[in-house]
Amino acid sequence: MGHTPIDPTGTWSALDDVVTRVVDTRAEIARLQAQESGLLAEAADLVMVRTASRREAGKRWDTDLALREVTSELGAAMRLSDRAVQARMASASTLDQSFPATRAAFEAGEIDAGHVSAIIDAGCSVAHGDLRAQYEQLLLEAARFETPTRLRSIARVVAARLDPESVSDQQQRARERRHIRVINLDDDMARVMADVSAAHAHAIHDRLTQMGRDVREARADAEADDGDACVVDTRTLDEIRADIFVDMLLTAAPTGHGEGDTLGAIRGRVQVTIPVLTAAGLANEPALLAGYGPIDRDTAARLAAGAPGWDRVMTHPHTGAPLAVDRYHPSAELRRFLSVRDERCRFPGCIQRPWRCDLDHTVDAAYGGPTSAENLAHLCRRHHTVKHASAWTVEQLGGGILKWTSPTARNYLDRPPGVVQFVPSDMLNARGSVPHHDCGADPPPF
């Protein structure tokens, strides 16, 4: 569990003071950001008034002139482009009209602009105002202890569970915008960007990773066998992944890097959670792609149909916490359970996936710590080292919740993603069939 901090020079006391002032400063910055957002919302209202007056005057030939007038003026004053100001005004107007609880927390300095953005971006797919209020309640609770990056993933899941029909429609529209583009970079480089389904993207990355590791191991074996320096491969895994990506697209096989037959047998792996009633066609709760969030049910069904085996995951009916994972022919059951429960490194704020982490004993086995779900958690190498070699300590509170204690004696809770993303059944059962409409009562003309 770590060791007791020894602070002969008063370092932790000084750090405690710094942390306190940083937290206070960030809260004040958030309050000022909220104030700016309110002013931009006022500017959006002015655009609406100007647009209406122009229409009443019969000037309908250029309906966005009022918007350009206002954004140009603000852009010049803020030293931003008018399009950047337009995007900020749209977000501010949405916050003002559709997310009152989020706006209040922002104004109080309880959350910052990153949290607000995460809540709004996913929350706009929640069509009905009552559902959106429930969505805000769940997300603001999570925002008290989650980073904006992790909150964004949670928000997608909660929105999909509360309003699956609207989110499904939005996902379909997004798939219709899939494309490939190339962005030129400096130093004779370019970036290939593919906007594709999340399931395909994660499977592609996983397959490239598996191939890259096989290539690296094959080169290491060859070096050990013949001792020839010419076979030494100094590339990083990122470099090997990129090389195989190019080979696969240009030659339809990883011809330049290792044995094609060996690498060709590798298939990308994705972890998808499908509620049993959804799989049976009796409910519409979304399927979840680990590391991303909700995916459409048709994709999940196709993945399930082709899966070589299924893990059965039993969860708590009131909290969503995983209780057990099994198979008819179990294989490394505890590892599978913890991979499902954790989904990432369990240090607060970290998003490293389980396959990049160590499965660590919270209480060291050498000190009697059991090898059980109540004493194991995934930690990436960086935070594994922090736990064992610094004054940070950690304990498990049950249900997969970890309590980390910093050198300044502050406590930080890290909850399993499945618990944070869980939507109580009474919220799901209470919802009715509601018509879809865009965020905001009167969306601005931008």
Give the pair of three-digit tokens for residue 217: 């191991």
The domain limits of the chain are 24-163, 198-264, 311-427
Distance, CA of 219 to CA of 237 (rounded, Å): 13
Distance, CA of 52 to CA of 16 (rounded, Å): 54
Q: How far apart are the first and last CA of the chain?
A: 53
- Inter-residue contact 18 to 70 (CB < 8 Å): no
The per-residue pLDDT string of the chain (446 residues; one tens digit each, 9 = 90 and over) reads 455 566 667 888 899 999 999 999 999 999 999 999 999 999 999 998 888 887 777 766 566 788 888 999 999 999 999 999 999 999 999 999 999 999 999 999 999 999 999 999 999 988 888 899 999 999 999 999 999 999 999 999 999 888 888 888 888 888 889 899 989 888 878 899 999 888 888 888 988 998 888 888 877 776 666 665 555 678 888 999 998 898 888 776 665 444 445 555 556 566 777 777 776 667 777 787 777 778 877 777 777 766 666 666 667 767 777 776 655 333 567 888 898 889 899 999 998 888 888 889 999 877 878 888 888 999 999 999 999 888 899 999 998 999 999 999 999 999 998 888 888 777 776 554 444 445 654 555 55
Please, what's the b/e burial string for 403-435 (b: 16 or more CB within 10 A of its CB; e: otherwise)? ebbbbbeeeeebbbbbbbbbbeeebeeebeeee
Neighbours of 68 (CB within 10 A): 15
Distance, CA of 323 to CA of 337 (rounded, Å): 9
Which amino acid would we find at residue 213? Answer: R
SS3 per residue for 379-446: EEHHHHHHHHHCCCEEEEEECCEEEEECCCCCEEEECCHHHHCCCCHHHHHHCCCCCCCCCCCCCCCC
**Angle made by CA atoms 258, 203, 378, in degrees to the nearest 5:** 95
Provide the whole-model pTM: 0.70
Give the pair of three-digit tokens for residue 50: 């100007």
